[in-house]
C-alpha cells in the first residue's frame, strides 16, 4: 500500500495526464491562435509534458514501494534483536542474583552491575560485554556465603557470551537495515521533489491554456493547489476536508 503523500499525488497526476491527452487538440489550436505555434508542435509539446509527468509519477511510486518494502524488512530484524537482548538480559539477571547471594553487592559492582539491568538492546549488549570481560579476571574477596557454591567464572561467561554474540550480530543487522531505510527514504524524497516540479509545470500550463481557450471548468479541474505540492486544487481540498474530524451528532 502506497503512503498517503504519494497516493494523493498519484491521483492528481492521473487526472492531469488524462486531461492533457483528452484536450491536446483544443490546446494546440489555442496555442496556434495565440502564439502562432504550429499545431503539430503544440500537440507534440503537450504529449511530451504528459509523458514526462507519467514517467515521474511512476518513478515516485516505485521509490515509495521500495521504501515501504525496506521498512517491512526491518520488522523481523528488530524482532530478532529484541529476542536476543531478552536472552542476554535473562542470563545477566541469573548471574547477578547468584553472585549477590553468594558474594554480596560489592562484588556485583566490581563486575559492572549497578542497579537494575537495562532493557535497551544496545545497553544490554554493553553491560553483557562488560560483565563477560570482568568475569575473565574476577576473584571474590571473600568465600561464598552459600555452602558448596564457588565462583564459576567460565560457566557464567559462557551463559552470557552465546546470546551476546547473537545480539551483537542482530544489532549490526539493525544498523544495516537502518542505513538502507535511510537510503530509500532519500531516494523517495528526491523522486517526490522531481515529480512536484514536473507536476507544477504541467498542471499549471494545462490549466492556463484551458482558461485562455475558454474551457474554465476544465481548467479548474487541473489547477494546481497552492497549499499542497504535487496535487490539483480539487483533490487537495477533498483531502483536507477528509482529514478534518467531523463533530459527533447531538443527541436530541
Give pLDDT tens digits for 55-72: 999 999 999 999 998 888
What does the domain layout of the chain look like in residue ranges? 4-243
Give the orientation angle of helix 39-103 with respect to helix 153-212, to 10 degrees.
Answer: 160
Alpha helices in 104-214, H assignment, sequence order = 105-111, 121-135, 153-212
| Average confidence (pLDDT) over 45-62 | 96
Q: What is the pTM of this model?
A: 0.72
230 three-state secondary structure: coil
Provide the pLDDT for residue 222: 93
Residue 243 pLDDT class (50, 70, 90 cuts): very low
| Average confidence (pLDDT) over 9-15 | 95
Angle, alpha carbons 147-116-88 (nearest 5°): 80
pLDDT digits (tens, 9 = 90+) for 144-188: 888 778 889 999 999 999 999 999 999 999 999 999 999 999 999
Sequence length of the chain is: 252
Give the chain's radius of gyration (CA, Å). Answer: 32
Q: Name which of 31-40, 95-104, 120-129 the model is least confident about.
A: 31-40
Amino acid at each position: 500500500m502506497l503512503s498517503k503523500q504519494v497516493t494523493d499525488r498519484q491521483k492528481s497526476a492521473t487526472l492531469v495526464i488524462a486531461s492533457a491527452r483528452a484536450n491536446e487538440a483544443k490546446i494546440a489550436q489555442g496555442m496556434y491562435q495565440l502564439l502562432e505555434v504550429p499545431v503539430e508542435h503544440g500537440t507534440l509539446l503537450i504529449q511530451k509534458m504528459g509523458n514526462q509527468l507519467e514517467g515521474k509519477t511512476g518513478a515516485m511510486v516505485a521509490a515509495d514501494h521500495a521504501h515501504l518494502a525496506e521498512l517491512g524488512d526491518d520488522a523481523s530484524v528488530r524482532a530478532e534483536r529484541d529476542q536476543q537482548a531478552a536472552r542476554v538480559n535473562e542470563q545477566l539477571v541469573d548471574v547477578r542474583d547468584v553472585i549477590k547471594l553468594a558474594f554480596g553487592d560489592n562484588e556485583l559492582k566490581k563486575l559492572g552491575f549497578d542497579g537494575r539491568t537495562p532493557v535497551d538492546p544496545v545497553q544490554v549488549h554493553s553491560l553483557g560485554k562488560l560483565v563477560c570481560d570482568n568475569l575473565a579476571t574476577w576473584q571474590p574477596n571473600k568465600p561464598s556465603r552459600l555452602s558448596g557454591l564457588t565462583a564459576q567464572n567460565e560457566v557464567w561467561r559462557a551463559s552470557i557470551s552465546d546470546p551476546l554474540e547473537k545480539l551483537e550480530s542482530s544489532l549490526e543487522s539493525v544498523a544495516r537495515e537502518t542505513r538502507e531505510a535511510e537510503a530509500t527514504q532519500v531516494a523517495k524524497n528526491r523522486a517526490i521533489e522531481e515529480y512536484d516540479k514536473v507536476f507544477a509545470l504541467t498542471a499549471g500550463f494545462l490549466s492556463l491554456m484551458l482558461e485562455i481557450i475558454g474551457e474554465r471548468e476544465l481548467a479548474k479541474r487541473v489547477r494546481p493547489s497552492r497549499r499542497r505540492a504535487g496535487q490539483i486544487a480539487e483533490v487537495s481540498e477533498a483531502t483536507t476536508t477528509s482529514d478534518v474530524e467531523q463533530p459527533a451528532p447531538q443527541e436530541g
